[in-house]
Structure 1
Amino acid sequence: MWNKLKIKIMLATAFFGIVLAAVLWIMEGFLHNHVILIFLFSGIAWSISFASTVQERVQERYEEDKWKAFEKEQRKKNSG
């Protein structure tokens, strides 16, 4: 389950980064200003950073849910 979710998060973030890069590249073409390239690379860096943050949070949540399920199973075994 985690691997499928990880792949979906990475693909969504990569898609967002590509769209953002394309928009900024078009803007750079219209404005002829190379400062826009800084925004292009910062947008790509932001999307990578966002993906890793989301990935860490999802991993933490997955581990918490797994631990809660284990505790529930242990309580069930102990009670009956």
Structure 2
Amino acid sequence: MASTARAAGIMDWLLGQRVRRTGELGLRGTERDRALVELNVLEQVHSLSQSAEAAEALQKHQLNVWGMVYDKASKKGYQLVEA
């Protein structure tokens, strides 16, 4: 449960750092694309977790939500956050 709270805090911080234009990232090419994908996944996990049904199920420990990304270059998936 502590790791879930910590992950939620990290997600809130990252979402607070939203990028309005891709140029603001200071990244180019693949690095920029990866950062945008990760921000999108974090936003989607946050959005899903805030829906009434999901929030209730999360609180009752009846639902787990993971934000995961597949890296095509390394052919590996990795978890960004768990809500």
TM bin, normalised by shorter chain, reads 0.3 to 0.5
TM-score scaled to structure 1, two decimals?
Answer: 0.43
Q: Greater Rg, structure 1 or structure 2?
A: 1
Larger strand proportion of the pair: 2
TM-score scaled to structure 2, two decimals?
Answer: 0.42
Q: Comparing both chains, which one has the higher relative contact order based on Cα–Cα distances under 8 Å and sequence gaps of 6 or more?
A: 1
